[in-house]
Amino acid sequence: MITVDSPIKFDRKKHSNEVLLSLCKELIKPRLIEEKMLILLRQGKITKWFSGIGQEASSVGAAMALQKDEYILPMHRNLGTFTVRGIPMAKLFAQFQGKKSGFTKGRDRSFHFGTQEYKIVGMISHLGPQMGVADGIALGHLLKEEKKVTLVYTGDGGTSEGDFHESLNVAAVWNLPVIFAIENNGYGLSTPSSEQFLCKQFIDKAIGYGMEAVQIDGNNVLEVYDTVKNLAESIRKNPRPILLECITFRMRGHEEASGTKYVDPKLFEEWGKKDPILNYEKFLLEENILTEKKLSEYKSEIKKEIEEGIKIAFGEKNIGADTVEELRDVYAATPTLKGEMQDAQELPLGRGGKPMRLIDAISDGLRLAMRKHSNLVLMGQDIAEYGGVFKITDGFVKEFGKERVRNTPLCESAILGAGLGLSINGMKAMVEMQFADFVSEGMTQICNNLAKAHWRWGQAADVVVRMPTGAGVAAGPFHSQSNEAWFFHIPGLKIVYPAFPADAKGLLLAAFEDPNPVMFFEHKALYRSAAQDVQEGYYTIPIGKACVIPLALKGEGAKADVTIITYGMGVHWAIEVVKKLDWQTMSPFRGGADLIDLRSLAPLDTETIFESVKKTGKAIILHEDTLTGGIGGEISALITENCFDYLDAPVMREGSLDTPVPFTETLETNFLPKERFERKLLELLKY
Which residues participate in catalysis according to the annotation?
Answer: 479
Return d(Cα 253, Cα 266) in angstroms, integer: 15
b/e 294-318 (16+ beta carbons within 10 angstroms → b): ebeebeeebbebbeebbebbeebee
Tell me the CB-side half-sphere exposure of residue 267, using CA atoms within 13 A. 18
Q: Identify residue 440 by its one-letter amino acid code.
A: S
Return d(Cα 625, Cα 437) in angstroms, integer: 13
CB-CB contact of 176 with 135 (8 Å): yes
Helices (H), 437-585: 443-444, 453-457, 485-488, 501-513, 569-580
Return d(Cα 133, Cα 468) in angstroms, integer: 24
Q: Among 39, 77, 50, which Cα is nearest to 256's? A: 50
Return d(Cα 253, Cα 543) in angstroms, integer: 48
DSSP per-residue string spanning 81-136: HHHHTT--HHHHHHHHHT-TTSTTTTSS-TT--EETTTTEE---TT-THHHHHHHH
Return d(Cα 93, Cα 49) in angstroms, integer: 12
Return d(Cα 654, Cα 626) in angstroms, integer: 9
Sign of CA dihedral 373, 136, 524, 609: negative
Return d(Cα 253, Cα 331) in angstroms, integer: 37
CB-CB contact of 375 with 428 (8 Å): yes
Strand order in the sheet with 463-469: 405-407, 376-380, 428-432, 463-469, 518-523, 494-496, 600-602
DSSP per-residue string spanning 243-259: EEEEE---SS-SSGGG-
Residues 6+ away with beta carbon under 8 Å from 198: none
**Counts of helices then strands in the chain (DSSP H, E):** 23, 23
Q: How far is CA 554 from the centre of its chain?
A: 49
Under DSSP, is residue 661 helix (H, G, I), strand (E, B) or coil?
A: coil
629: left (phi over 0), alpha (psi -120 to 50) or beta: left
Return d(Cα 600, Cα 112) in angstroms, integer: 31
